[in-house]
Structure 1
Amino acid sequence: MGQGLPRYAAFAAVLAAAGLPIYIHAPKFYVDSYGVTLTQLTFALFLLRLLDVVQDPLLARLSAMTASVRGPMAWGAGAIMALAMLGLFAMEPLLPPIWWFAVTLAALFSGFSFLTICFYAQGVAKAAAMGDGHVRLASWRETGALTGVCLAAALPALLAPTGAPFALYAVIFAAAALLALWAMAPEWSGRGTPPAATGLGLVLGDPPARRLLLIALANATPVAVSSTLFLFFVEDRLDNAPAAGPLLLVFFLSAAAAAPLWGRAAARWGAWRVLMAAMVLAMVVYAWALTLGAGDTWLFALICIGSGAAVGADLTLLPALFARRMEVIAPGAADGFGLWNFVNKITLAFAAVTLFPILEASGFASGTENAPRALTTLTLLYAGVPLGLKALALALLARSGRDLKQETSHA
């Protein structure tokens, strides 16, 4: 276990609990508790997502410029994140509810994004100090992150008997965040503190780094598309709305269980080859999903296991390959991971902007009896589009194979 890697897993778990699960929990909480309308939420979430995407390069610059005082900066960002979570769920709004929702979420995601960039940049220095241990560190980190997602997704339901599950969730999160920051303190201030980065231009001017960013864009978009449509697919295509929560948990648990196995496989056969195999697995799973219809819930559970396992490879191996390249060209890595975050987040914005208008044009309406044409459109968007995008990502990875194998065979 040594070398402080459990610290990275624990910190990743806390960060993950402030990410995707909040998009699941917070909107429904504000609708149920304060009567916020879906139209208000849609507009607020669009603006928040826009802010979240465009601020990452700026936060990356801030992280690079303050690398010498990363410990205090991390404590400050962590405190903002914890207080924002408490404000979001554990206190009455001090503004009209939709404005309070927007302000607290903006603070939460700003702290989350800054810490994520610092955390991944610090991981580059950590892996270098371990002797080229990028995949090993990524396996610990992403297993922790996926475990955090599972816990955060399930915790409000487990706390429901208390009568105030979200308030208690916020308190637990704030305490866990402070604990994780304390545990990471030796890493922020240790000998592994990275040097200052040299700017976005250096990263974008490097052909292997550009190729990896392009692969990440093509590879993350299928997950963004299928994640955006997951609940609709289960409720309307499979006709089994109550199964959505358990199936989502199966997906995340499969990703968490698979992440360390992909790491071990990469250590034996190389990250590039193993990532290719994981992409092929994802394509098989998406192709299978195209054949499903009403009542195929158990078959879809198998698909969730396969797709979750494939995502475990995406989250573990691609960042490790990118971190390995950052070690070579920009050891500070903050600017690089600012771009990495930007690329991954822009896919969610793309999914939100394009998918729903296409569904609406097909006549689809969630929770109602839909015509075959609308259900076919839903299936093609949920599985067919990701299948094509995954094939594109696989082709880009295969085309870049010679360089990536040489640069990352020991990642």
Structure 2
Amino acid sequence: MNALGQRLPAYSLFAAVIAAAGLPIYIYAPKYYADTYGVSLTALGALLFALRLFDVVQDPVLGWISERLRGGKAFWVSMGAVLLAVSMWGLFAVDPLFDPIWWFGLTITGLFTAFSFLTINFYAQGVGKASQVHGGHVRLAAWRETGGLLGVCIAAVAPTIMMGSTENPFAVFAGGFVVVVAVATLWMWPEWSGRTETEPTEIREIIADPLARRLLILALFNATPLAVSSTLFLFFVESRLGAVGWEGPLLVLFFLAAAISAPLWSKLAQRYGAKGTLLTAMALAILSFAYALTLSTGDEIQFAVICVLSGATIGADLTLLPAMFARRMSVVSPNGGQGFGLWSLVSKFTLAFAAVILLPILENAGFAAGQTDLPESALTTLTVLYAGVPCILKLVAVAILATTTLEE
């Protein structure tokens, strides 16, 4: 059966919707609220960290709920999509109805609660779906993550493209997002309705499994570099490189390279094995981050090359690691809800680390968003945080993966 008959394009579009509500919002929202409403970076970092602490409880609970929805899953997933759309609209298209920091907190909580719920159910759906797809988990992951990365590309560049052509490009983006959410939800409806559920798995059974536990630890160290670079990307381009106006094109290069590379990494993994392929990608990521440490004002072209190379490595991370984990969940937790509740928690904790640790360090070093006369010490701190910290974390991830035995 071809990809259309297997409904793989529906998975790509739904992945695009979820992804557009994830990483791009971490890139844009803090800077948008800092620039537009004068909210301090430290306050935003503290709030984002508090929300991630909330996720420590919320995501496993959402995973527990996911495994017990049974026949009502299509309806509840649709309600999650409604919450996602309404929260995005409130975050960017509505002037804060009260103090901006608390309005930010309210809307971002709704957005990421919906994001978590949809992500958990969507990835859990793939655990059972992979058995119906030629190529299994890796092929399904290639369709899913390519769609997700294209969604990230569009969400990352759309506001920048609309700058100057509309008074509030983020409001226009939010309106378009609401429409696409509706289309994607309707297209995926038969998948939720037709799913056969097995008996729920307890979270302790997943944590007790040595390989599942090791893959979660690997995901933590491997995803944190992306969280760090995403949180600091706009600041790095604007202040370190002095490349105002390049933010959109560079983001497109980064995520487009990731989207284009995802199916290629999938093919390589099917031929040479997922572990060796991922290790190769991780080594390339370390080299890219190391080179970024040498950049300074005016190095836009060199950074564009780094965006392409590092973006390509993200295509491997986002395709192969979830496929590895999903393959293990098909053995340990066939419903997948509890497992991907933990996976979602790990992924978002990396963003919390970036927000609560890095933003205050940056501010204490004398950095202020939008200023042109920053001290060199602040720019050096920005460079070290943007590129040096990810290098160290990636090296730890390489060590974990190299010593892990995986099923192929």
Q: TM-score, normalised by structure 1?
A: 0.89
Which residue of the other structure, out of 252, 257, 263, is the alignment partner of 1:249? 252
Which residue of the other structure, out of 196, 221, 228, is the alignment partner of 1:193? 196
Change (3 A) 1:46 1:215: closer
Q: Distance in 1 between matches of 2:225 and 2:95?
A: 38
Contact 2:88/2:107 (8 A) holds in 1: yes
Q: Distance in 2 between matches of 1:365 and 1:100?
A: 22
Change (3 A) 1:361 1:106: closer
Contact 2:161/2:248 (8 A) holds in 1: no
Contact 1:237/1:294 (8 A) holds in 2: yes
Aligned to 2:294, what secondary structure does the other structure show? coil
Q: How does 1:392-407 map to 2 (within 5 A)?
A: 392-400=396-404, 403-404=405-406, 407=407
Q: What are the ranges of 5 or more consecutive residues in structure 2 without an aligned counterpart?
A: none
Contact 2:128/2:334 (8 A) holds in 1: yes
Q: Distance in 2 between matches of 1:375 and 1:28?
A: 17
Q: Which residue of 1 aligns with 2:86?
A: 83
Residue by residue, what CA displacement relative to the aligned partner does 1:225-246 show, whole Å, maximum 9, x if unpaired?
A: 2222223332333232332332
**1:151 to partner: Cα distance:** 1.1
Q: Distance in 2 between matches of 1:196 and 1:68?
A: 13
Further displaced range: 98-107 or 380-389: 98-107
**1:278 to partner: Cα distance:** 0.5
Change (3 A) 1:58 1:52: same
Change (3 A) 1:261 1:80: same
Q: Distance in 2 between matches of 1:383 and 1:89?
A: 29
Residue by residue, what CA displacement relative to the aligned partner does 1:32-78 show, whole Å, maximum 9, x if unpaired?
A: 76x46336645544433433454111111111121442111111111
**1:212 to partner: Cα distance:** 0.7
Q: Which residue of 2 aligns with 1:342?
A: 345
**1:368 to partner: Cα distance:** 4.6
Q: Distance in 1 between matches of 2:128 and 2:49?
A: 35
Q: What are the ranges of 5 or more consecutive residues in structure 1 without an aligned counterpart?
A: none
**1:138 to partner: Cα distance:** 0.7
Q: Which residue of 1 aligns with 2:264?
A: 261
The answer to which structure, 1 or 2, has the higher relative contact order (CA under 8 A, 6+ apart) is 2
Contact 1:52/1:109 (8 A) holds in 2: no
Q: Which residue of 2 aligns with 1:38?
A: 40
**1:361 to partner: Cα distance:** 5.3
Opposite residue 184 of structure 1, the aligned amino acid is: M
Q: Which residue of 2 aligns with 1:355?
A: 358
Q: TM-score, normalised by structure 2?
A: 0.90
Residue by residue, what CA displacement relative to the aligned partner does 1:87-144 show, whole Å, maximum 9, x if unpaired?
A: 3344455555544333232222211110110000001110023266111111111111
Change (3 A) 1:225 1:105: closer
Q: Distance in 1 between matches of 2:225 and 2:190?
A: 37
Contact 2:227/2:354 (8 A) holds in 1: yes
Instruction: Say how many residue pairs are matched.
Output: 402
**1:374 to partner: Cα distance:** 4.3
- State whether structure 2 residue 279 is matched by structure 1 residue 276: yes
Q: Which residue of 2 aligns with 1:150?
A: 153
Further displaced range: 319-328 or 210-219: 210-219
Residue by residue, what CA displacement relative to the aligned partner does 1:318-345 show, whole Å, maximum 9, x if unpaired?
A: 0000000000111011111111111111
**1:392 to partner: Cα distance:** 1.2
Q: Distance in 2 between matches of 1:15 and 1:138?
A: 14
Which residue of the other structure, out of 299, 302, 326, is the alignment partner of 2:302? 299
Q: Which residue of 2 aligns with 1:385?
A: 389
Identical-pair percentage? 55
Change (3 A) 1:209 1:243: same
Q: Which residue of 1 aligns with 2:142?
A: 139
Name the Cα RMSD after superposition.
2.4
Aligned to 2:246, what secondary structure does the other structure show? helix
Q: Which residue of 2 aligns with 1:290?
A: 293
Q: Distance in 2 between matches of 1:26 and 1:380?
A: 23
**1:170 to partner: Cα distance:** 2.5
Q: Distance in 1 between matches of 2:166 and 2:244?
A: 26
Further displaced range: 96-105 or 284-293: 96-105
Q: Which residue of 1 aligns with 2:172?
A: 168
Contact 1:122/1:193 (8 A) holds in 2: no
Residue by residue, what CA displacement relative to the aligned partner does 1:385-411 show, whole Å, maximum 9, x if unpaired?
A: 2112111111111111xx20xx1x1xx
Contact 1:67/1:195 (8 A) holds in 2: no
Which residue of the other structure, out of 203, 218, 222, is the alignment partner of 1:219? 222
Opposite residue 40 of structure 2, the aligned amino acid is: L
